[in-house]
Structure 1
Amino acid sequence: MTIDKQLISKRYYKTLTESGGSLHPIKLLGDLYMEEQKAEMADLSYIRFSQGEVYFHNRDYEAAIFKWENISNELEPWAKKNMADAYFELELLSTAEDIYQSIHTDSEVLKIEVLLQLFTLYVERGKLELAVKAIKDAVSLNPDYSNVTEIARLFFEEYQDWSHAVELAVKESVRTGEPQWFDILHAYVEQGRTKKMEPNDFGEVLHSLYKIDLVRFEGLTVSLWNSYKNSERYFPWLKEINHILLHKERSSAHSWHELSDLYQDTYDELINGKYLIREISYLMPNHLTNWIKIANPSHAIVASASTLAWSELFTSGIEPDTINRAERLLKQSTRNIDGLENGYGLFESIINWAMKNGMELGQRFGWMVKELLDLNAHHLLLAGIDGQGKEAFTRSIMDGKLAQERLSMAVMYKDNDVTEILEVSDEVIRKITDLTELQNQSQTLVQWKAPDPFLRTNGIALIDTPSMTSDNRFRNEVFQYLQFADSLLFILDAKELFSEKELEMIVKIREQAPELPIHFLLNSVEQEIIDLVSTRVHTYFPKIRIFAFSMNDRELAGLVNFIADMRNNRNLKEERLTKVHHTIRKTIKYLLERRVEMENSFIDSIKWNEDMVTKLTGAINQLSDLEEEKVRMIRRTFRKMTDEIRQELLGEVPKILQKCSELITEDSDLGKIHIKLNDEMNKRIHYYIEETLLPAFHQAFLNWIEEANREFEQSQLFLNEMCEGFNDLYGDEKIKLDCDFKLLGDWLRDADRLTRGSVQIEKENILLRFTPSQFLLKSAGRIFSSIPQNKGIIHNKYRQFIENEDYSHVSISISNQLFQPFELFERALDRDIQLFFKSPFTILNETVAEASEEIETNKESLHEMRVNPEAYRDPLTLFQLKLRQHEWMANAGEEISQYQG
């Protein structure tokens, strides 16, 4: 046992007691102590140190401490450490900690032992931060020290200190290169302990592992890759791993299955439109370079095509050596991918993206692309100037299974187990049963599917288009289906001998579809006509075949052979794939152009709506002026009417009262005549009001309502003209400014209520008031009525009084009572007329709000388009990238140079 091990285990005393035989160490050390004391230069430190160890092992800690306190030689640091151990055993932890910390030594072993003891002490006291520091210091001092790294690992795992546990595993993996540490680190990754760590923390360990064990390297890399997915450290991880692999030589001794899958999945994820190009462009060159390097055979074609596609669209970043390797791999690969299905999948993703961005490409467009996947039917497109000849040919081969009435749209006849008719338009694809509802719908295609032996035997689907005329020859539907057709059969007019019109149409078709095989069909079997037409046709188109066909040929044998020749030596799958790719390219181009159109449409819409807001606001102001004018005019006429009636009342009431003097006769009882007169006066006033005034008032009211109606009708005419102007601008019956004429009905009811029936007017106290003149007359009547000679005088005086009395107060009182409801009606006129115009105001204000909202929406959209143009452009660019990738894969195994774009 070495001296360090003896000091650690407190067995140093054995160096002094080895020769003691069976005597107890205490006895031996005691004897040595007594013997040493006799020496002239006694050195008792070694013996005391040893005695302390023996006491410690026998749990006499105080005696041990006493011995160790008096050590002054080179064993003093170990003595202090042992004293601290004794205090630790006595559970005097604070004292132990102080002593441990006071030890200064050059011995690495002692330093580590002190740190381990401090570590244990700190764990015991719950001081975990200090425990971490102590064990980390011990590992740093000498990680090869017995069990120190294992102690650290177990401690970190027990207290779930995963950052330090991972850090330890990383350092030990790199330092030792031992598989167990790489496996421990891999386990941490699998458990999700490393997600919060930066990817470059694993750079060194991955570099080391790549040299040692490629299997373990792939496993750890895949685990780290998956752990960083969908996190903020994903891109830094991709940058780190690609940087690591970039400078590694490709090893033929290992096949990268999982990592190759991850490279493809990640590439697909990066270009799926979730990220902008500027976010992934710095990653992609290294990613593709490494993918080419590690791709297994099943991924070689995809990796090569992806690399070449990226290098075409983004010309910088990928080294020429990588591009050359991609070209070699692609040339050596065998096509084992269904390009047609993949192409359609790409097309569908573009369609879905367009829909999400508010751009519809039309149902018919998608339907045609999907039909291209059916390789069992060769699409034969019929065209021609001669409508009768083309229709006769179609009927002859379809055995009369056509609609009786000629439709104005394209019809596709296709063999099917059951009969089914579809309407295919930009808006909808639906089953139909009645073709008559589709008359004159030129933008619709009818797909007529039914059991048909001729179509099935010859493997064709017939696409019949409306005949070309002078009016539609350049807008004919045949041009819409050129990319849909596999061959075009142009039916010539035998009477015209290949006319200029037919030549013009063929040239136009050639311009739009240069690769489409074109064949001519001549409805004649006369050799002279055939020769003349052939000579003329071959002058312009030397290689085009002409098939002479008789409508009377019911066997159709010649036509069957002709169709078979058309289909021979054709790779329909490759041709269809080219058509799908062509359609995708056109679609992407269209969507890029639509971006500019959308921006311009937003600008135009903003300007147009701003103009409309100005016009609508002006209309609201005009309507406000109109409303104020009508309120003022109608109130004025109503006030004039009531004032005239009031003046009539104020003039007639006094006359009626004065005429009541005739009621006073010689026989009148002067003592009570005033009561009788007062009653009669009220009766005559009521009679006048009911029979004369109110009927006249009613008629005047009706006249006023009629005049108000004329004013309202003029207002409505003005608003109708306003509506017409706005609707012309909108191009739609958007605005309808109808006023509320029900108001007039309410006024008519009010007129009846206020001027007909019993009017509630309180009885007036006309002659029963206590005025001086009335008081004298009534008193005189009572006093002198018994004197005959005075009676006549009193009667005359009464009559004079009645005839000359001022009844203005009575007239005013009656007037106030009678006209109070009319005053209330007049006060409500403002509100009534406002209600009359309420609906037009509401509609105009709502239209202004709608236009203003559209302005703001369009401004936001325009701002977003201008501030972040990549959000629209980048997905389309990535679709172009995918398309080019598909085209490269479609040409795998062939010479590269002829396909480079």
Structure 2
Amino acid sequence: MEKEQYLVKKLYHEQHFLKGDESEHPIRVLGELYVSEQKKEMADLSYIRFAQGEVYFLNNDYEAAIFKWENIHNELEPWAKKNIADAYMELDLLSTAEEIYKSISSDSLILNTEISLQLFSLYLQQGKAGEADQMIKNAVVLNPDYENVTELACAFFEEQQDWESALDLTISEAVRTKSRQWFRKLLDYIENGHASAQEPRFFVPALTALQAIDFSLFEQMTVVLWDNFQKRDHYLSWLKELSAVIAKSEITASYRWNKLPAKFSDSFRKLLLEDFPLERLKEVVPSLLSSWLQVADSATAPAAAAGVLAWNDVFPASVGESSIQEAQDILGRLSGVADRSNLFMDSQNLFKSIEQWASAMNAAMNPKVKWMFQKLSMLDHKTVLIAGTSAGSKSSFVNMLLGSTEADFFDTSVPVLYGHGETTAFRLITNENIATVTTSHELVEGERKPDALIEYIWPNRFLADHRLSVIDFPVLHFPKRKESVIESIRMSACMFFILNEDASLTIDEQELLNEIKEHIPEYPVHFILQTNGPITNEKLDSVKQHVSQFFPDANFFAISGSDPISDSQLESILNEVDEKKNWLLLTGHLIFLIKKMIGGLLKQREKIQRELTEAIEFDEEVLTKIQGAIHQLYDLEEEKTKVLSDAYRSFKDEIKSDLLKTVPKLLKESADILQEDSDFGTIHKKLNDEMNKRISDYLQYTVHPTYISSLQDWISFSEGELNKAQEQLIEWNEGFNLMFGEERLELACDFQILGDWRRDADRMTGTIQIDKENILLKRTPAQVLLKSAGKLFGVIPANQSIMYKRYRQYIENENYDDTAESIAEKFFRQFELFEKAIPRDISLFFRNPYHVLRKSADELQETVDKNKAKLDDMKSNPEKFHNPLKLFDVRLRQLEWMKGKSKTGSRTNNSVNG
């Protein structure tokens, strides 16, 4: 044990004074030494006091220990201060202890480490997590090799859930110590999600150190980090950092990786098929591919090598020459190793991905290519191609094959595909569209298109039983019909080439067969010799010799035109359509289609921009008209509201006018109930009752029926006006739908309001109830005078005649306009709600057309805005259209390299190279 370790454990007294002698108590020994030293002329009691302080401390006599250590003034003074602070800690005088710890100045690494650890413990007791954190970090920085200091720090960080500090410490210790224990702890943190906030660069030191120590643990940690970053924005940065780590590593080819090769394969596919910025991919992918080559196993090496070469095809000089050479060597060594069925599935997936992208971009897909893809995806179905030198011989063979004379119906210049179906149907397949043909005129028109193909479906048991389709190709004119021939080849499992009797091949046919042999060597071509007479072995040998220069391994069949084909011959021929899937050929077919599709889409951008511009202009024009229609609808509603309201007020005003004229007349005529012998003291009451009765009868039997009749007439008039409005809206409706090309709008008004009005009119046919008028019971001066005079003179017979004349004169000459106005107001008050509701009801009548027009306008505006944004984006960011196609092209070329590229490497869409 070193000297400072004795000081740490407070065993300095054993090292220097006791020498292992346990026969006497240390206090007695040290006390005797103290007395002995004190007697010396130049006594130095500091060391003995220091030792005595240790013994007192270890025996829990902290005050005595403090007393002894306070008098130390030699090189042990810093340790004495530290011990004093320890004693105050034990006495629970933490503030004093803290002050003393902080006052100590020393060059001793161990002492400073101990002080940091003691302050760490002190702060924990005080609940000061921040100060404790700083002290334990100081201890780690000062002396990470100190016993348990890093483990203590790590435990503290975990308890505080300070995962950033825990990760910093773990990586630092893993790199420093090269200990697998620390790497495993780091792996545990990552797996439990404690590293999710860190960026990829944070882990580079640990990965760099680990790959030189333990490949297995390196792979585990890499895969866990990969899964972590794959779901985050730092994914590309992770791939870049990892590639840099692997590039600098010393990975040996003999090590067998478990998961890493597949992770590279999946990530490369993800990068190509998902929406990542191309400029960022250019920074990441080359190094990723080179790293993939370093770790690839036998299963993924072809894909890795093909990926390197494909990326370099599309982005030349982006991958290092050494990686390119290595990729070429790998493909050379592993030729034929790739799983052909998986390659076919990858091709299918790529086609579907491009199709989905094109749909999202509003890019029109070639319908013929889509149709061909669907045919090729029917793996339980086979298509054979029939070609030949003579239309008659070829059609004759097709008829024998189909067991019918269907081929005689088609003397066309375009290929015909015969297939089984429950019902008979003709379809014309072109690059522009797929149309059902119903007339011979349409068929002739379609034949004029160079890319046309006729699909003829009808019930055919032979085709159904063999799950077979047959393409009858017209007489060959190669290379004039090269593209059409290639498309037919790329739909078929094999070709049956019909030779005529002299077995000679035209120059065009020889060129076609050479093209197939060179660029599609896996495509089976079988030859059928059809003669009018018997077929001799010599004749057959002669034919074989002539054709073998093109296809030395081809199968030959001889058929006599004078005899029907036998079942055994037919089965023999069909057996050549291999029951086992030729995945290499199928993959080549799909690659051909994908090339054609990408080539077509590259031309789509200008078309899409033009179509977007036209769509925006059309929608804006329609939108303007719809907005104009909305304003016209406002005007129409205002017009109808005014017309109907005016019509209502017109008949109401006419009735009111009559009422205002008639009521005063009725009141004046009430004077006829006066008699000279009337009781003029009470006659005013009788007159008032009579007047109200006459008014009530007038209202009930004259005014009210007139009002109801006029209201019914008004409703009929309103119905006519509203019908006119609906007719106008129907014209708008038809005009807009004609523009849209579909039944998109229906501007139907709500005629329910007419029913509501009629129902209200029916309810108003009952008895009219209005309050009586105080016509002669008012306290006007004239009435007061008459009433007083009547009471005064009514008992005097001589004055009866005078009162009679006065009353009559008063009744007949009184002004009843106010009374008439009051009665009119009361009468029409009960119809007031109906009148006030007319504008609201008319608004309800037009509510649905408003809603339909506004909704259509909003939808059009939204469409216009979206299309404008899309158009602006396309104009300002043309790479958004082209870049995905470049990445699709990389994936396509990878498939080509894995399948095996042609000798020429030709990539034109018109080439049969596939």
Q: Is TM > 0.5 for Structure 1 vs Structure 2?
A: yes
Asked if the contact 2:54–2:65 (Cα under 8 Å) also holds between the matched residues in 1, the reply is: yes
Deviations 1:445-473, CA, capped at 9 Å, x for gaps:
686787638963xx8433589x99xxxxx
Contact 2:30 2:48 in 1 (8 A): yes
CA deviation after TM superposition for structure 1 residue 233, in Å: 4.5
Q: Name whichever of 68-77 and 833-842 sits farther off.
A: 833-842
Cα shift readout 1:307-353 (whole Å, capped 9, x = no counterpart): 22222223353222212221221222133222222212222334445
> Would you say the 8 A contact 2:88–2:97 is kept in 1?
yes
Q: What percentage of residue pairs aligned between the two structures are identical?
A: 36
Query: Aligned in 2, Cα 1:481/1:89: closer, same or farther, shift over 3 Å?
Result: same
| 1:413 and 2:419 aligned | yes
Q: Which residue of 1 aligns with 2:864?
A: 855
CA distances 1:111-153 after superposition (whole Å, capped 9, x unpaired): 4444444444445555454444444444444444455545555
More displaced stretch, 326-335 vs 299-308: 326-335
In 1, Cα distance between equivalents of 2:814 and 2:745: 62
> 1:271 maps to what in 2?
272
Q: How does 1:438-453 map to 2 (within 5 A)?
A: 452=462
**SS of match in other structure, 1:380:** strand
Q: Would the alpha carbon gap of residues 806 and 392 (structure 1) be closer, same or farther in structure 2, given more than 3 Å must change?
A: farther
Q: Helix, strand or coil: the match of 2:299?
A: helix
After superposing the two structures, state which structure 1 stretch, 32-41 or 349-358, moved more: 349-358
Q: Secondary structure at the match of 2:259?
A: helix
Equivalent of residue 740 in structure 2, options 721, 730, 746: 730
Question: Residue 620 of structure 2 corresponds to which residue in structure 1?
Answer: 610
The structural deviation recorded for 1:12 is 4.0
Q: Tell me the CA shift for residue 886 of structure 1.
A: 1.4
Quote how far apart the aligned CAs of 1:561 are: 7.2
Question: Shift of residue 273 of structure 1?
Answer: 0.8
Letter aligned with residue 491 of structure 2: F
In structure 2, the partner of 1:533 is none
Residue 301 of structure 1 and its aligned partner are, at CA, apart by 0.5
Name the residue aligned to 2:897. 888
Change (3 A) 1:325 1:351: same
Q: Secondary structure at the match of 1:462?
A: strand
| Residue type of the alignment partner of 1:102 | S
One-letter identity of the residue aligned with 2:266: D
**1:74 equivalent in alignment to 2:75:** yes
What is the CA deviation profile of residues 628-668 of structure 1, one whole-angstrom value per residue up to 9, with x for unaligned ones?
A: 5555556666666677777788889999999999x99xxx9
CA distance in 2, matches of 1:546, 1:57: 110
Say yes or no: does 1:341 pair with 2:345: yes
| Aligned counterparts, 1:472-487, within 5 A | 483-486=490-493
- Work out which of the residue numbers 383, 398, 401 in structure 2 matches 1:379: 383
Matches within 5 A, 1:402-801: 412-413=418-419, 452=462, 456=466, 460-462=468-470, 483-486=490-493, 525=532, 550=561, 553=564, 555=566, 572-591=582-601, 596-629=606-639, 671=677, 715=725, 717-737=727-747
1:291, distance to aligned residue in structure 2 (A) = 1.0
Contact 2:641 2:839 in 1 (8 A): yes
Q: Which amino acid is the alignment partner of residue 617 of structure 1?
A: Q
Q: 1:694 to 1:222 in 2, by over 3 A?
A: closer
Q: Which amino acid aligns with 2:738?
A: D
Distance in 1, matches of 2:828 and 2:465, equals: 93
**Contact 2:385–2:470 (Cα < 8 Å) also in 1:** yes
User: Alpha-carbon deviations, 1:772-792, whole Å to 9, x = none?
Assistant: 9999999999999999xx9xx
Amino acid at match of 1:348: K
1:294 aligns with 2:301: no
TM-superposed CA distance for 1:287, in Å, is: 1.0
Gaps of 5+ in 2: 429-436, 447-452, 476-480, 501-507, 535-545
Structure 2 CA distance, aligned partners of 1:685 and 1:101?
Answer: 113
Kindly indicate whether the alpha-carbon contact (under 8 Å) linking 1:276 and 1:870 is maintained by their aligned counterparts in 2. no
322-331 or 144-153, which moves further after superposition? 144-153
One-letter amino acid of the structure 1 residue matched with residue 325 of structure 2: N
Secondary structure of the 1:244 match is: helix
**Is contact 1:670–1:781 with CA below 8 Å preserved after alignment?**
no
Q: Distance in 2 between matches of 1:350 and 1:704?
A: 66
Matches for 1:827-866 after TM superposition, within 5 Å? 840-859=849-868, 861-862=870-871
Measured after TM superposition, the shift of residue 379 of structure 1 is 1.0
Between the aligned partners of 1:21 and 1:758, the Cα distance in structure 2 is 131
Asked if structure 2 preserves the Cα contact closer than 8 Å seen for 1:767 and 1:774, the reply is no
Alignment CA distance shift 1:868-1:397 (3 Å): same
Is the 2:700–2:768 Cα contact (8 Å) retained in structure 1?
Answer: yes
Match of 2:260 in 1: 259
* 1:114-263 aligned within 5 A: 114-146=115-147, 148-150=149-151, 152-153=153-154, 162-263=163-264
Cα distance in 2, alignment partners of residues 840 and 632 from structure 1: 19
Aligned partner of 2:373: which letter?
V
| Shift of residue 823, structure 1, vs aligned partner | 8.1
Contact in 2 for aligned 1:273/1:878 (Cα 8 Å): no
Q: The residue matched to 2:273 in structure 1 has which SS? A: coil
Alpha-carbon distance between aligned partners in 2 of 1:110 and 1:523, rounded to the nearest angstrom: 106
Shift of 1:606: 3.3
Distance 2:819 2:105 in 1: 127
Work out the CA distance in 2 between the residues paired with 1:70 and 1:411: 112
More divergent stretch after superposition (229-238 vs 625-634): 625-634
Q: Distance in 2 between matches of 1:158 and 1:767?
A: 103
Quick one: structure 1 residues 366 and 784, their matched pair in 2 at CA, closer, same or farther if it must change by over 3 Å?
A: same
Structure 1 residue runs without a partner (length 5+)? 427-434, 469-473, 494-502, 528-537
Q: 1:364–1:425: 8 Å Cα contact kept in structure 2?
A: no
Partner Cα distance (2:773, 2:29) in 1:
149
With 596-605 and 800-809 compared, the bigger mean Cα shift is at 800-809
Q: Is the 8 A contact 1:257 1:296 kept in 2?
A: no
In structure 1, distance between residues paired with 2:707 and 2:56? 134
1:777-836 residue CA offsets vs partner (Å, 9 max, x unmatched): 99999999999xx9xx999x99x9999989986996899499848986777665666566
Q: Does 1:319 align with 2:289?
A: no
Deviation at 1:689, TM superposition (A): 9.8
Q: Secondary structure at the match of 2:283?
A: coil
The separation in 2 between residues aligned to 1:153 and 1:681, in whole angstroms, is 110
Distance (Å, rounded) in 2 between the aligned partners of 1:176 and 1:679: 121
Q: Take 2:308 and 2:157, find their aligned partners in 1: how far apart are those partners?
A: 45
* Change over 3 Å in CA distance of 1:388–1:135 after alignment to 2: same
3-state DSSP of counterpart to 1:284: helix
Do the aligned residues in 2 keep the contact of 1:13 with 1:54 (CA within 8 Å)?
no
> Does the C-alpha gap of structure 1 residues 170 and 818 become closer, same or farther in structure 2, counting only changes over 3 Å?
closer
Distance 2:843 2:188 in 1: 80
* Cα distance, 1:617–1:164 mapped onto 2, change above 3 Å: closer
Q: Report the CA distance between 1:165 and its aligned residue.
A: 4.2
Give deviations 1:672-720, integer Å, cap 9, x for gaps. Answer: 7999999999999999999999999999888777766665565555444
Q: Is contact 2:770-2:827 (8 Å) kept?
A: no
The one-letter code of the counterpart of 1:890 is K
RMSD over equivalenced CA pairs, Å: 6.4
SS in 1 for 2:384: strand
Contact persistence 2:594–2:892 (CA under 8 A)? yes
Shift of 1:302: 0.9
Once residues 280 and 297 of structure 1 are traced to their aligned partners in structure 2, the CA distance between those partners, rounded to angstroms, is 26
CA distance in 2, matches of 1:60, 1:764: 118
Cα 1:134–1:757, aligned 2, differ >3 Å: closer, same or farther? closer
